[in-house]
Amino acid sequence: MSITIQEVEHIANLSRLALSDEEKANMTDTLGKILNFATELQELNVENVQPTTHSLPLKNVLRADEARTWLTQEEALSHAPEQEDGQFCVPAVMEG
């Protein structure tokens, strides 16, 4: 099992990570080694085995939809790199 630099670039894009050329080379090498190691799981017969997502037998934990006191808008915004009029600011996503 190996992974190509093109695949690394594709995964980095999906992961929203900017990687340097050196990092891409390093990822190609180390991810390849890890995925190669993980191929051992392909040997196992998992037919009719249910997947485990969670070790507790919990399902659909619900609560009443009630208003509670929590962070104020000011507190929630207090760490924003950029804010305006009580909202988080991001670079424009639409033209014009």
Partner 1 sequence: MSLLNASIRELHTRITTKEIKPSELVAASLERIAATDSKVRAYLHVNGDLAMERARRLDDNVSPDAPLLYGIPGATKDNMNTKGLPTTAGSKILEPYVSAYNATVVDKLEARGAVSVGKLNMDEFAMGSTGENSAYFPTHNPWNLDRVPGGSSSGSAATVAAGQVLFALGSDTGGSIRQPASFCGVVGLKPTYGLVSRFGLIAYASSLDQIGPMTQSVEDNAVVLQAIAGHDKRDSTSANVEIPDYLSALTGDIRGLRIGLPKEYFGEGLDAGVRAEIEKAVKLLESLGATVGDVSLPHSKHAVATYYLLAPAEASSNLARFDGVRYGLRVEGDNLIDMYKKTRGEGFGEEVKRRIMLGTYALSSGYYDAYYLRAQKVRTLIKQDFDNVFANYDVILSPTAPTTAFKLGEPIDNPVQMYLNDIYTIPVNLAGIPAISVPCGLVDGLPVGLQLIGNAFDESTLLRVAHAFEQAASFTARASM
Give the footprint of partner 1 on this chain (CB under 8 A).
3, 7-8, 11-20, 23, 26-27, 30-31, 33-35, 37-38, 40-42, 44, 46, 49-56, 58, 61, 63, 71, 75-76, 78-82, 88, 90-93
Report the residue number, 63 or 86, with the smaller CB distance to partner 1.
63
How far apart, in whole angstroms, are the C-alpha atoms of residue 68 and residue 63? 12
> Least distance (Å) from partner 1 to the CB of residue 57?
10
Q: Which amino acid is at 49?
A: V
H helices present in the chain, as ranges: 5-14, 21-38, 73-77
How far apart, in whole angstroms, are the C-alpha atoms of residue 90 and residue 71? 21
> Least distance (Å) from partner 1 to the CB of residue 52?
4
For residue 8, count CB atoms less than 10 angstroms from its CB and return exposed for 0-12, middle for 13-18, buried for 19 or more.
Answer: buried
> Least distance (Å) from partner 1 to the CB of residue 86?
13
